[in-house]
Structure 1
Amino acid sequence: MTAAEKPLDNPSRTFGRAWQDIREGFHQRDLWGHLGWQDIKQRYRRSVIGPLWITLSMAVTAIGLGLLYSTLFQANIGTFLPYLTVGFIVWNFMLGCVTEGTETFIANEGLIKHLPAPLTVYALRTVWRLTLMMAHNLLVYAVILVIFFGDLSTTGYKITEAGPGQPGLDWTIVLAVPAFFLIALNGVWVALLFGVISTRYRDIPQVITALTNLAFFGTPIVWTTDLLNKIASGGSSWRSIIIEVNPFYHFIQILRAPLIGNAQSWHHWAIVGGITVVGWFLALVAMRNYRARVPYWV
């Protein structure tokens, strides 16, 4: 066996070492928490209103598209605007986890080569930064909730005329907390898995960006599932093909439904739970096999 082949038999390539990296990464909260805060501060350095630009950008997008699509779909602005706003907020967070996750290790090249820290720290840095940005965006949701609380708390309200009646806001709003933590947990494995792959194959970020742009139009964010079923003949088959196969839809629904008083569907939670288990297994395999090579690839 040559010297070049010996690293392939390195005992560090075990699930135990990979799990240790993930566990230690979560324990180093001070490190990735500080790095995430610094990312936000650096991005809006010398700006007059700083991170509030995140909130204003989301507000302009949500209100503009909400007014447009509520008119096109002849929907009640009081129920459709909150639906679209929350959908955009959750989508932006997931989109960031996927697209920025592919650049997680590439963007942290300097730190990876000079800072002896678990690779998981950099994935958590990315997700924490996106969490802070989502917190700013939730200010838009809070304002809209205050304005349209009467519409959303009415039992039997409809998002569109063709849609089913919704139960309205109630105690189930607390389900938004575990829903967000579940989405964020998925964001970490996405950053780990795609981050490792992207360090080796630099075309992956461009491929992911193209696919997510396509996924946006196939995800019920600016449109609702009842509109699709109404327009398309054989609505149930369209739903199963276009919607149920789309994982983004299930992630959005587990958080959007409790925040705007929509009916809860537990199959969304089951699908997200299954994706979580499979995704973390794949991330663990990637960390086991290629964790030691990332510093050389970047």
Structure 2
Amino acid sequence: MTAAEAPLDNPSRTYRRAWEDIKSGVQLRDLWGHLGWQDIKQRYRRSVIGPLWITLAMAVTAAGLGLVYSTLFKAQIGTFLPYLTVGFIVWNFILGCITEGTETFIRNEGLIKHLPAPLTVYALRTVWRLTLMMLHNLLVYLVVIAIFFSDVTTPGYQMVENGLPQPGLDWSVFLAVPAFVLVALNGVWVSLLFGIISTRYRDIPQVINALIQLVFFMTPIVWSTDILHNRIGGGDIALWKTLVTELNPVYHYIEIIRAPLIGNTQSWHHWAVVGGITVVGWMFALVALRNYRARVPYWV
């Protein structure tokens, strides 16, 4: 009988073993920290400006789309460009956690077969690499905020014409730090859970890649929720807003980071939604680790 055919009542499959995998993985921060940094260096080896290509690519994307969509939506570039820039930065991190998370163990096949390390190490390696990339992208945010500082710090500014007034950038900007930590915690369980499932069923990454573009366009990144208020009238406003935004979990993840960074109204129900998903997600990840942790080396 192969390991993949072994019964699930194996005594090694316990929640204690699953928790030890997570605990040991976190403690090996020198290992996953080094591996994540080496991923960045390897990607831009022999490049003139190295990892700054990450920043340059984000700057070009934000500037180009910001000019186009601010014109289409009749929005002030001074407030809309920071909104779009932060949205793209957070989206890229979430996108990486989902798409690269599904291939976390597949890409680390060689290490998994030859290095006796907890599976959590490879999930943390993925999230740490994406965190480093996000830090590079935040340089674009700092430049944009410096240029349009007076626009985003003006109390009562609007994202689009006839939009909701926003409080403006203030000390609540530091709420973005715990918000990112919470999002990163979700990135780890996504990498663990989806990574295990994708290792067994190789079609999962293809399905996710096919659906991810739809999620992008359904998420308020290049458009604002104020547009729904302006374009959709009558009693259908609440229904459409709920369907398009509130029922989209990615929107809540983006908003808990974006709102404080650009001085938008911080709604605490976004934190509640993300917190609830975090708890449920980690529960599923623990179940997956408990039942299938030992099978991953055979599946890869």
TM-score normalised by L of structure 2:
0.97
Question: CA distance change for structure 1 residues 3 and 64 in 2, over 3 Å: closer, same or farther?
Answer: closer
Aligned position for 1:38: 38
Aligned position for 1:186: 186
Question: CA distance change for structure 1 residues 203 and 6 in 2, over 3 Å: closer, same or farther?
Answer: closer
Contact preservation (8 Å) 1:229, 1:238: no
Aligned position for 2:116: 116
Aligned position for 1:269: 271
Separation in 1 of the partners of 2:229 and 2:117? 50
- Identify the match of residue 286 of structure 2 among 280, 284, 289: 284
Shift of 1:6: 5.5
Question: CA distance change for structure 1 residues 29 and 161 in 2, over 3 Å: closer, same or farther?
Answer: same
Query: Residue 160 of structure 1 aligns to a residue in which SS?
Result: coil
- Structure 1 runs not aligned, ≥5 long: none
Residues 264-296 of structure 1, C-alpha deviation per residue, up to 9 Å, x if partnerless? 100000000000000000000011110000000
Shift of 1:163: 1.1
Aligned position for 1:155: 155
Residues 31-66 of structure 1, C-alpha deviation per residue, up to 9 Å, x if partnerless? 000000000000000000000000000000000000
Separation in 2 of the partners of 1:54 and 1:282? 33
Query: Residue 166 of structure 2 aligns to a residue in which SS?
Result: coil
Question: CA distance change for structure 1 residues 63 and 6 in 2, over 3 Å: closer, same or farther?
Answer: closer
2:50 is the counterpart of 1:50: yes
Residues 215-254 of structure 1, C-alpha deviation per residue, up to 9 Å, x if partnerless? 0000000000110232224111101111111000000000
Separation in 1 of the partners of 2:8 and 2:90? 41
Q: Tell me how many residue pairs correspond in the alignment.
A: 297
- Letter of the aligned partner of 2:90 in structure 1? V
Separation in 2 of the partners of 1:285 and 1:219? 30
Aligned position for 1:10: 10
Residues 183-242 of structure 1, C-alpha deviation per residue, up to 9 Å, x if partnerless? 000000000000000000000001011111110000000000110232224111101111
Separation in 2 of the partners of 1:107 and 1:228? 41
Aligned position for 1:170: 170
Separation in 2 of the partners of 1:3 and 1:52? 47
Contact preservation (8 Å) 2:21, 2:118: yes
Contact preservation (8 Å) 1:78, 1:151: yes
2:60 is the counterpart of 1:60: yes
Aligned position for 2:19: 19
Separation in 1 of the partners of 2:132 and 2:298? 31
